[in-house]
Amino acid sequence: MLCCHELRPAAGAVGFTNDDDINWPGWQMTDEDSTIYEGTIFDYIETVAADLGIGLGDVATTGQSNVGRRELEYRYSSRELKGWHRSIVINNITQRMLPSGSSALDVSLVVTGDYRPPPFLDLDVIAEDSINRQGAKVVSTLRERGERAGREFFSRVEGIEAVAATDLTARPTRSPTGKPTPAPTGPPTAIPSSEPSSAPSSEPSSEPSRSLDQYIMTGSQQDLQLGGKTTSSYGFVFNIRTKPDAGVVLMTGFDFYTETTDDVTFELWTRTGSYVNHKGTFEGWDLIGSGTIKGRGIGRYTAIPPEMFTQVSIPGGGGDKGTRAFYLTLTTINLVYKLGTGGFAPDTKYHHDSPDIEIWEGEGVLFYPFPDPAEAYFYRSPRQYLGAVYYDILPCKPFSTYGPVMELPCPNVPTGSQLCRYRPSHLKRNDRR
């Protein structure tokens, strides 16, 4: 799934020689100037973003405001109190901030871009680095492009700095903006209403307001880098449970994490109920995914292709009935997962959840295909799944016909046709004992 991130870096772009200069007739950019500015910023950010797999969408100016010398000095002093310094180091390249004693023009930008995590990228940092690490070059480009277009505005630029809007420190007000009201604005109601304001609807609504296709992505950016709190082996076994108030869900896909970019052969097994007391044997397990795929390497999850995966459901209501076990294994020692919470046994707490399901801590499996649990050294716990799970919260559609459903197959209804994405006939029974 593609994710769109909106960035709002505020760039102190125009460095003037003194406070009086901000009152000259061209103290803000015209539409023609803004076009040059946006195009230049786009080009510098796009070069860096493309190398990271980000499709830069647009750079748009949303506002301008003049900033005097004193305001700039206040901003810099505030950053120094937070641990910032006038000389900032970005990727081992030291850049100066705007020239000392200058005034500036704040230009608010919205930078949009599309990318599919993982890795999880801080797009604010990418936008800032793209400008700040080569500020002199950006200024030179602005001047050249402005001169070619016959625009004088950029001839007065002395420096440029990109700062995420959340990091831009504004001067506090001198005093509170207003006095408190002398008394409450009105008396409370005498008593609660005696009955609900309206009657409930006579039938269920058409569909829930949330998107039907949901996912949980475990792990963080740090987990997907070398040196994270992760380890690797052949396989991982764990449980997924529905929430007590959730209906049936249909598992529609899995991603896992491997640091190799070579081909890996995988198997994904499942059974209803918990995996506890069912390790080391494939009896009662169903093979719902298998094949050989190319690993995506460090910082990226590897998706199991839909054609290699059979969808399965987890009954609603949570507890033992709302539990389904999964065992994902590779034929090589390349499956990466995260260390769990120390001091806890496996399957005693969940590490990620949503309004519908919980992903519980499980166990790493140190041999292929499914070692005897009596040989305890082949299992390590607690461990946490590193990857993504995808699911459908409404496998029986439409909601107005079926209402809440706790387990599949979809119930028979008097009228209408059944639309259900559950394909039990595609389950592959185990061929191992």
Q: What is the DSSP letter of 389?
A: E
pLDDT at residue 58, rounded to an integer: 84
Span 68-78, average pLDDT: 59
CB 111 within 8 A of CB 9: yes
Any domain includes 27: yes
- Among the three residues 131, 152, 167, which one is the final residue of a domain in this structure? 167
Q: What is the pLDDT of residues 247-303, one digit of tens each?
A: 999 999 999 999 999 999 999 999 999 999 999 999 999 999 999 999 999 889 999
Residues spanned by the domain of 93: 3-167
Q: What is the DSSP letter of 47?
A: H
State whether 152 and 18 are in the same domain. Answer: yes
Please report the beta strands in 200-261, taking only residues with DSSP state E, as ranges in sequence order.
Answer: 213-217, 230-233, 235-242, 249-257
Residue 313 — pLDDT band, cuts 50, 70, 90?
very high
State whether 260 and 152 are in the same domain. Answer: no
CA distance 316 to 312: 13
pLDDT at residue 57, rounded to an integer: 80
Residue 90 — pLDDT band, cuts 50, 70, 90?
very low
State whether 86 and 225 are in the same domain. Answer: no
Q: How far is CA 275 from the centre of its chain?
A: 29
Any domain includes 177: no
Any domain includes 207: no
State whether 118 and 218 are in the same domain. Answer: no
CB 119 within 8 A of CB 255: no
Q: What pTM, to 2 d.p., does this model score?
A: 0.53
Span 349-375, average pLDDT: 96
Span 236-255, average pLDDT: 97
Any domain includes 203: no
State whether 157 and 240 are in the same domain. Answer: no
Calculate what percentage of the chain has a pLDDT beyond 90.
39
State whether 225 and 360 are in the same domain. Answer: yes
Any domain includes 38: yes
State whether 304 and 405 are in the same domain. Answer: yes
Q: Which of 10-24, 169-183, 337-351 has the highest mean pLDDT?
A: 337-351
Any domain includes 186: no
Cis link prior to 404 (omega < 30° from 0)?
Answer: no
Residue 8 — pLDDT band, cuts 50, 70, 90?
very low
State whether 227 and 160 are in the same domain. Answer: no
CA distance 404 to 394: 9
State whether 243 and 336 are in the same domain. Answer: yes
pLDDT at residue 189, rounded to an integer: 59
Any domain includes 199: no
Any domain includes 362: yes
- Among the three residues 148, 167, 186, which one is the final residue of a domain in this structure? 167
Question: Does 407 have pLDDT greater than 50?
Answer: yes
Structure tokens at 291: 């094949």
User: Could you tell me how many residues make up the chain?
Assistant: 433
Cis link prior to 409 (omega < 30° from 0)?
Answer: yes
SS3 category, 214: strand
State whether 117 and 262 are in the same domain. Answer: no
Residue 23 — pLDDT band, cuts 50, 70, 90?
very low
The count of domains in the chain is 2
Question: Does 94 have pLDDT greater than 50?
Answer: no
pLDDT at residue 82, rounded to an integer: 40
Question: Does 125 have pLDDT greater than 80?
Answer: no
Span 361-369, average pLDDT: 96
For residue 377, give every residue at least 6 positions away whose Cβ sits within 8 Å of its Cβ, in sequence order, or none: 366
Work out whether the CA dihedral 168, 108, 6, 143 comes out positive or negative: negative
Calculate what percentage of the chain has a pLDDT beyond 70.
67
Structure tokens at 26: 């061209």
Q: Which of 62-71, 174-183, 368-377 has the lowest mean pLDDT?
A: 174-183
User: Cα separations (Å) of 232 from 103, 358, 363, 373?
Assistant: 54, 23, 12, 19
State whether 276 and 357 are in the same domain. Answer: yes
pLDDT at residue 18, rounded to an integer: 37
Residue 69 — pLDDT band, cuts 50, 70, 90?
low
Three-state secondary structure along 138-156?
A: HHHHHHHHHHHCCCCHHHH
- Report the DSSP beta bridge partners of residue 93: 90
pLDDT at residue 24, rounded to an integer: 43
State whether 123 and 241 are in the same domain. Answer: no
Question: Does 414 have pLDDT greater than 50?
Answer: yes
- Among the three residues 108, 137, 167, which one is the final residue of a domain in this structure? 167
Three-state secondary structure along 274-330?
A: CCCCCCCCCCCCEEEEEEEEECCCCCCEEECCHHHECCEEECCCCCCCCEEEEEEEE
